[in-house]
Amino acid sequence: MIRTVAMLVCSAVAASAAEPVLIPRPTSVREQPGTLVLAADSLVLAPPELIDSAVATLSAAAACTLKPAPAGSPGRIQFLAANARPEAFPIPQGEGYVMRITPDGVNIHAATPAGHFYGLQSLAQALTTANPPRTLACADIVDAPRFGWRGFMLDESRHFTGITEVKRLLDAMASYKLNRLHWHLTDSPGWRIEIKKFPRLTEIGSRGSETDRRKDAPPQFYTQDQIRELVAYAKARHITLIPEIEMPGHADAAGLSYPEHSGGGFIADASAGKWPNFTFNPAKPETLAFLDDILTEIAGLFPDAGVIHFGGDEVNFGWQHWTDLPDVKSLMQRENLKDLNGIETWFNRRMAASINKLGFTTGGWDEVTARGLPRDKTLVFWWRHDHPQVLRRALDDGYQVVLCPQRPCYLDFVQHDSHLNGRRANGFNPLADVYGFPDSLKELRPGDAPQVLGIQANLWTETTVTQQRRDFLTWPRLVALAEAAWTPASRKDYAAFETHLKVHLPLLRARGLAPWDPFAASLEVVK
């Protein structure tokens, strides 16, 4: 299906292109004389952990059956060790790879399984868009990512996605070499992950959504078995799932389920009941133990995540009642805390220590830079584009950061000026702005590079009732983010990206996704 759709649109583009039609654009492509024509039943030589995936992926891309090479036999396509490459090529490291396309076959050299996997994705894209079919121009490709963190954040609380569509998302992310899915699983509208010790979190807290506040709405959440299934599915595609469990704010679903742990909140809209349990009680020993137990189960479900994100943002929206709580009064006296900021700081340090003791780095939105968390155990997600001083403070204080500012990285923002649904903040987030990030960010200095782990796009789902609208907002801007995260600044070329994207839009549709078409001015999906 992908091959058939691609051939309808790529013939003129691919025939005239100086490079393979690859997104992200590789670090280096050097054309060589000749072509490779890949015949059906060609053999694939790959490490045991890759062979099944390689054969299946390349067979689909080439629209013919390829076969594993028998033991001791060479393959027409070979995945080889890093040090087996010709001496004229650099030794690939980490997620990098070297690909040589010659008239005799394809050799992909890498030092790690991830490097081989990303070489596989590039070869699959080249075969899918090849014209004539299975005919590749000879070339030497040297490739490696610009950033180690190439991410997408999906908000599940406001509107639930579900296991089938998350797998579809992971497949597409892997194809474009994205490697982090930041999974926003809890917030005020809904709690979306099963916690065995506290079943009411899903029996009560998972009901409804941002647009459906009925008490008898059907529960929507991931069971722990589904979580394990998705963690494994992502891992096979070299994607790490990063769980986010919001605290001490954005806690209404949990407070509704276990009101004894509520720290109060606010009523933004009395008819909808938003959000009287916005915070956890930041000082109650039983609440702290409750959160510790939740984090322990989360750590067991995401053993390789490396990071547990605990939110830490916008707490001031609902902390007004904290100083009325007896446990908070006792805490303030005992710890000599002067105000609400002091209480939040104490809570953040307490819960960050719990995350660290579980063996994870604490992830938090950029408000946590004011809370004095350990620099070597904290990852800051800078989201407030209108607070560049917060980014500067985080970097100057020695924190590692992921760049995901509202502009241009929030995909719930409008993507074209003609669109009427979605957010704006003195502007919006067109495709070109996403592609131009982070090189457009004036606050960064050359010496900051070691602390900038990478970039990610964020999709908040208040306005995305349907999967079709989620796709409409995500794609193709996430493709642009993928190239911005992988391709070195010196190789980024928006005109070339647009040319390649015209070929890739049908490939996204063939995956069952519903991207916006910026070239055809397709209609806005409003729900």
Q: How does 216-241 read in b/e, with b if 16+ C-beta sit within 10 Å?
A: eeeebbbeeeebeebbebbeebbbbb
Active site (annotated) includes residue 314: yes
Query: Looking at 238, 250, 261, 385, which residue is catalytic?
Result: 250
Active site (annotated) includes residue 313: no
Q: Interhelix angle for 477-486 vs 494-510, to 10°?
A: 130
d(CA 54, CA 327): 57
Closest CA to 162 of 217, 116, 246, 220: 220
Does residue 203 come out as left (phi exceeding 0), alpha (psi in the -120 to 50 range) or beta? alpha
CB under 8 Å, gap of 24 or more: what pairs does 511-515 form?
511/2, 511/168, 511/171, 511/172, 512/168, 513/168, 513/172, 513/471, 513/475, 514/467, 514/468, 514/471, 514/472, 514/475, 515/471, 515/472, 515/474, 515/475, 515/476
The kind and range of the H/E element at 431 are helix 431-436
Query: Looking at 314, 462, 517, 524, which residue is catalytic?
Result: 314
Closest CA to 61 of 81, 48, 42, 80: 42
Side-chain half-sphere CA neighbours of 375 within 13 A = 8
Residue 436 CA to chain centroid, in angstroms? Answer: 18
Do 212 and 160 contact (CB within 8 A), yes or no?
no
Query: Looking at 95, 156, 187, 367, which residue is catalytic?
Result: 187
Active site (annotated) includes residue 493: no
Q: What is the layout of strands, in order, in the sheet containing 97-102?
A: 28-37, 135-143, 97-102, 105-110, 77-81, 43-45, 67-68
134: tokens are 């299975």
* Secondary structure of 215-269 as H, E, C letters: CCCCECCECHHHHHHHHHHHHHCCCEEEEEEEECCCCHHHHHHCHHHEEECCCCE
Residues 6+ apart with CB under 8 A from 404: 151, 153, 381, 382, 383, 410, 455, 456, 457, 458
Do 368 and 390 contact (CB within 8 A), yes or no?
no
d(CA 46, CA 43): 10
Question: Catalytic residue numbers?
Answer: 187, 250, 314
